[in-house]
């Protein structure tokens, strides 16, 4: 992740998907690193910790997803 953030143009969005065994990773540290390197990058909620936006799958949420910024 650090290499992607440092070697290439900073992303607008990082979309995690299909991460197995999330408990193996310090997901809060991963999001913290993304914020340090690229504070404007949005991260979805599929890394196992709250993200900037929800990505529901297999259901339609009752409310419209909104941007929520967690620092």
pLDDT, tens digit, 9 for 90 and up, residues 8-61:
998 999 998 877 777 778 889 999 999 999 999 999 988 888 888 888 777 777
CA distances from 24 to 5, 30, 51, 62, 68 (A): 22, 12, 18, 32, 25
Q: CB within 8 A of 13, min separation 6: which ones?
A: 41, 42, 43, 44
Q: What is the pTM of this model?
A: 0.75
Q: Give one word for 21, left, alpha or beta, with left for phi > 0 and alpha for psi -120 to 50.
A: left
Annotated domain spans of the chain: 1-71
Answer whether 43's CB lies under 8 Å from 52's CB.
yes
Q: What per-residue confidence (pLDDT) applies to 66?
A: 62
Spatial distance between the Cα atoms of 63 and 66, rounded to a whole number of angstroms:
9
Per the prediction, the chain carries an average pLDDT of 83
């Amino acid at each position: 992740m650090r290499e992607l953030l440092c070697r290439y143009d900073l992303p607008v969005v990082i979309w995690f998907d299909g991460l197995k065994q999330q408990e193996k990773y310090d997901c809060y540290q991963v999001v913290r690193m993304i914020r340090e390197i690229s504070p404007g990058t949005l991260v979805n909620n599929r890394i196992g910790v709250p993200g900037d936006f929800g990505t529901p799958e297999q259901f339609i949420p009752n409310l419209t997803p909104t941007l929520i910024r967690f620092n």
